[in-house]
Structure 1
Amino acid sequence: MKLKHYFAVVAVSLTFSVFAAEDNPKITIDSTRPGATINRDIYGQFAEHLGRGIYEGIWVGKDSEIENINGFRTDVIEALREINVPLVRWPGGCFADEYRWRDGIGPRDQRPVRVNTHWGGVEEDNAFGTHEFFELVELLGAEAYVNGNLGTGNPREMAEWLEYMTGTSNSVVVEERRKNGRDAPWKIAYFGVGNEAWGCGGHMRPAYYADLYNHFATFLKTPRGSEPKFVASGGHTTDTSWTDVLSKNVQRQMDGISFHFYTLPTANWDDKGESTGFPEDQWFATLWQTLRMDEFIRLNKKVLDKNDPEKKLGFYVDEWGTWYNPEEGREPGFLYQQNTLRDAVVAALNFNVFHEHADRVHMTNIAQMVNVLQAMILTDKEKMVLTPTYHVYDLYQVFQDATALPFEIENPSSYRVGDQSLPGISASAARGKDGQIYLSLVNLDPNQSQNISVDVKGLELTRADGRLITADTMDAHNTFVAPNQIVPGDYQAEAEGSGALQLEVPAKSVLVVALKN
């Protein structure tokens, strides 16, 4: 049996042998038929005004005893630079549709205090606003994704914010920006017209939102050459009506449609499951749930291919990640959760799915960057720890702007729990910007290592060099006391004779290697 994909979820045998066996899976990569470019923005981040995601997590202020760069945590900035963050989405999320942008400009001691009604009912002093956000993305060397307020705002408010950020004239709005310390306009890569219109953004019908989008977008103008990609708020389930209605009825500028999906182990919002101490059936259920991402994208791509055959529209998964029960003793509305090896596997599985659909999926944002849901980084006052998910982003840097490569998989089998089964291995192959061929392999099975034969047509592979993430337990995680329980380790494998290269993939692991000839 053979499967042909640019991405593949592959199953493998539960018994491992260091030698090639006829029933072991074999991956054959065809480097002569390049596929779509894997847009670097697939590795985007999300920073919402939520819990300690921005305040303490990113912004501590210039007078903080925590080492900072003009108010931004030095340790967090340096860590995020290391994983080459390409894009940051802000200010929400649900928060975006109640955000008054003028609250976040001008002298900080004169900015009004509001209540964050979505997340914990805490006071929002607006110390982190438009200027601070753009300073953050400049510090990271990233691009900006700004989400406008359609829910409680109006077209003039949204249009003036866009003018404030991008304008070059001597208008009163642009002069206000200059008065506040920024002469040159900022560049915006993406601009969202509302968020989750089906839910916290207004509980709208697709047709009603499409009319509002046309209304608002009519007035969203920037100087020529500085237009962002405009993003419409799309769906979140197998119901493709949002994608269908928007792609048929939005007549104004629209470059992409968003989609949100969170991985819940139980698929029950009232009892989502715990972030640690979970049994194997919840490991299995979590991976099963997250692999639904492939189904959602395929369903929506089918609609887009019908309504937009020229592929002018992107499909942007601008919120995704794991969501567990609140940790005991913490404010439930802050959405702080521990991040384990399971989260690392979830992240890598999603990346492999996004690579498969790189022709439409040009941008995604994990929720969220620091201290919220499936975060890269956790902080506790002056302390900081990198999560297993952070390390997956580090390994997958080589796929940013790489070119997907098709491959065949022979002899797939499965990872089973009871009478249910999942693929045992997820894979993706691409040629990086440096010309090397990279292969990612994710072993979903928490109990058995796998032996996989790898071949590249027309090349005689001699070795594979890369890095590996794994641990002894399914819920292994880094803490402020023990911050290095999970860190990537070096990985090497050498071919024997003229046979295909054999890669041992340990149980519950993420592996990314460069294939050498």
Structure 2
Amino acid sequence: MTTARAAVDLDVTGPQISRHLYGHFAEHLGRCIYGGFWVGEDSPIPNERGIRLDVVEALRAIRIPNLRWPGGCFADEYHWRDGVGPRAERPTMVNTNWGDVVEDNAFGTHEFMDLCEMLGADPYVNGNVGSGTVQEMSEWVEYLTRSGDSPMARLRRANGRDEPWRVPFWGLGNEAWGCGGNMTPEYYTSLARRYATFCKEHDGNRLVRIAAGASDADLRWTHTLMASATSSNTPEPQASPFQAISFHYYTHAGTGIQKESATAFSREEFLRTVAHAADIERVVSAHEAVMDSYDPDRVIGLVCDEWGTWWNVEPGTNPGFLFQQNTMRDALVAGLHFDVFHRHAARMRMANIAQTLNVLQAMILTDDEGGMVLTPTYHVYEMNAGHQDALSVPAHVVAAPVVTIDDVELGALSLSASTTDGAALISLTHVGVDEALPVEIDLRGRTARATRARVLTGVDATAHNTPETPDAVSPVPLEASVEGGILRLTLPPVSFATVELALEG
């Protein structure tokens, strides 16, 4: 077996890894909201005010930092006034994007804010630019965040909430290049400036206005948005009307989204998947380079508010509900993504996996009888929780085996590391499928000892959890030791691992 070698500079602290890179996304899509978060007050499943309690407990355990809602494509056909007031009086609508089903608006603004408070998560509200109005979005911000005697504050009180909420994140539409309106970047950028202007900051509630940006590496969107953000129509320089721009990146095995099985795949499809996941480094770097050319001080943040794998739905389920299983392959995609996000923490301020429950690369799968399964991806989030708001430190693979697919060579080992409060956390992703990988990591700059090491793996890349086998893929202890400043461990094939260190000096 070839030994991989790496180095971590524990005394060279870099940018803070924002906890919001571990954000989540809950759309009115399939069973993410209804049957996922929301079961209703009359459900036999334990709930508080209609919100499912075991789901809340599981998400609190991974320190969920923020939750994006109500979409996605759904956001640009959602009108917030339909989802406030007595539930029995709320109008219905048809969710034309996802299954063409009737939406009864039982879960609206107050229910979402109640959920965020239960989770301890910051709300990320995505406004309607595609079919809404500037006034509608402006009034939603006022409704949520203004105290005193204003029309929307009075309406909120009439609907049962006296004090305003704190809502830091605000999305200016979604996928304006597609389901959000099929716009050109030039047209959308003008709209985004206008909408952002009327999203006011009430009573000290600071807004991060997030402009909807590119799909993958479509740099035209980034150029157009950044040129507008750094220009001004006034003699004196003005701050950007938006504080971040987004992009979306979905992973598949080479033939496109929603075209391949989540659980039945070949070695080649596995390798194409991890190669596509690793390619997000190129995409982030490209957007970052464009942003740096306009904003060298990195005032404006980059947000990947939709990412994850997108496979065929499980057999027998509604194609519009996007319900898919979650395997060890998906967990490795998450591990690779987080290594990239950590490396680019100076520019990247937020990321939101799609989606939290029962949709695409979910944390948790639930059923209507009260069953709940934690997925392999959930365990990556739990094992990586110590990176949230920690300081990134340089972590380099010096030598490692490579895997090759379609003439593309990909390192079999990826890693990242951070430090906080006299401790360090190292994350390692091993995508090799054939044999275990011994690893030696030179821990430079500070004396360290290993306090806990864990590994996530399965019988192979298709391993996943079910109600019958909920722990088929779950973290187990991993042997790791530090001698002479060298951390030694051995990674099984297709595995994700974390090592916690205590630091001295």
Q: State the TM bucket, normalised to the shorter chain.
A: over 0.9
For 2:226 and 2:208, how far apart are their aligned partners in 1?
A: 15
For 1:210 and 1:500, how far apart are their aligned partners in 2?
A: 51
C-alpha distance 218-463 of structure 1, shift in aligned 2 (>3 A): closer
**Aligned residue among 138, 141, 144 for 2:123:** 144
Partner of 2:272: 285
For 2:306 and 2:189, how far apart are their aligned partners in 1?
A: 20
Contact 1:463 1:492 in 2 (8 A): no
Asked whether 1:425 is paired with 2:413, we answer yes
For 1:499 and 1:214, how far apart are their aligned partners in 2?
A: 52
Contact 2:277 2:337 in 1 (8 A): yes
Partner of 2:499: 513
For 1:465 and 1:506, how far apart are their aligned partners in 2?
A: 17
For 2:35 and 2:487, how far apart are their aligned partners in 1?
A: 47
Amino acid of the residue matched to residue 152 of structure 2?
A: V
For 1:396 and 1:58, how far apart are their aligned partners in 2?
A: 23
Show the 5 A alignment for 1:448-463. 448-463=435-450
Contact 1:464 1:492 in 2 (8 A): no
Contact 2:412 2:432 in 1 (8 A): yes
Partner of 2:400: 412
Partner of 2:83: 104
5+ residue gaps in structure 1? 1-14, 17-23
Contact 1:461 1:500 in 2 (8 A): no
Name the SS for the 2:349 alignment partner: coil
**Aligned residue among 253, 270, 274 for 1:265:** 253
User: Cα deviation per residue 1:301-321 (whole Å; 9 max; x = unaligned)?
Assistant: 010000111211000000000
The TM-score with structure 1 as length reference comes to: 0.93
Asked whether 1:73 is paired with 2:73, we answer no
For 1:96 and 1:409, how far apart are their aligned partners in 2?
A: 41
Partner of 1:294: 281
For 2:97 and 2:371, how far apart are their aligned partners in 1?
A: 27
Partner of 2:237: none
**Aligned residue among 342, 348, 357 for 2:335:** 348
User: Cα deviation per residue 1:337-356 (whole Å; 9 max; x = unaligned)?
Assistant: 00001011111110000000
Partner of 1:34: 13
Show the 5 A alignment for 1:22-421. 24-250=3-229, 253-269=241-257, 272-381=259-368, 382-417=370-405, 419-421=407-409
For 1:409 and 1:237, how far apart are their aligned partners in 2?
A: 26
Name the SS for the 2:378 alignment partner: helix
For 1:267 and 1:188, how far apart are their aligned partners in 2?
A: 39
5+ residue gaps in structure 2? 233-239
For 2:408 and 2:245, how far apart are their aligned partners in 1?
A: 34
For 1:160 and 1:407, how far apart are their aligned partners in 2?
A: 46
Amino acid of the residue matched to residue 222 of structure 1?
A: E
The TM-score with structure 2 as length reference comes to: 0.95
CA positional deviation for 1:40: 0.1
Contact 2:334 2:377 in 1 (8 A): yes
User: Cα deviation per residue 1:183-239 (whole Å; 9 max; x = unaligned)?
Assistant: 111111210011100000001111101111122222211224212100000001322
C-alpha distance 500-217 of structure 1, shift in aligned 2 (>3 A): closer
Amino acid of the residue matched to residue 453 of structure 2?
A: G
Amino acid of the residue matched to residue 335 of structure 2?
A: A
Partner of 2:433: 446
Amino acid of the residue matched to residue 412 of structure 2?
A: G
CA positional deviation for 1:297: 0.5
CA positional deviation for 1:419: 4.9
Contact 2:193 2:242 in 1 (8 A): no
For 1:39 and 1:283, how far apart are their aligned partners in 2?
A: 30
For 1:210 and 1:154, how far apart are their aligned partners in 2?
A: 15
For 2:449 and 2:307, how far apart are their aligned partners in 1?
A: 38
**Greater relative contact order structure (CA < 8 Å, 6+ sep):** 1
User: Cα deviation per residue 1:327-375 (whole Å; 9 max; x = unaligned)?
Assistant: 2211000000000010111111100000000001110000000000000
Name the SS for the 2:37 alignment partner: coil
CA positional deviation for 1:501: 2.4
Runs of 4+ that moved beyond 3 A: 416-420, 458-464
CA positional deviation for 1:66: 1.0
For 1:102 and 1:166, how far apart are their aligned partners in 2?
A: 15
Name the SS for the 1:137 alignment partner: helix
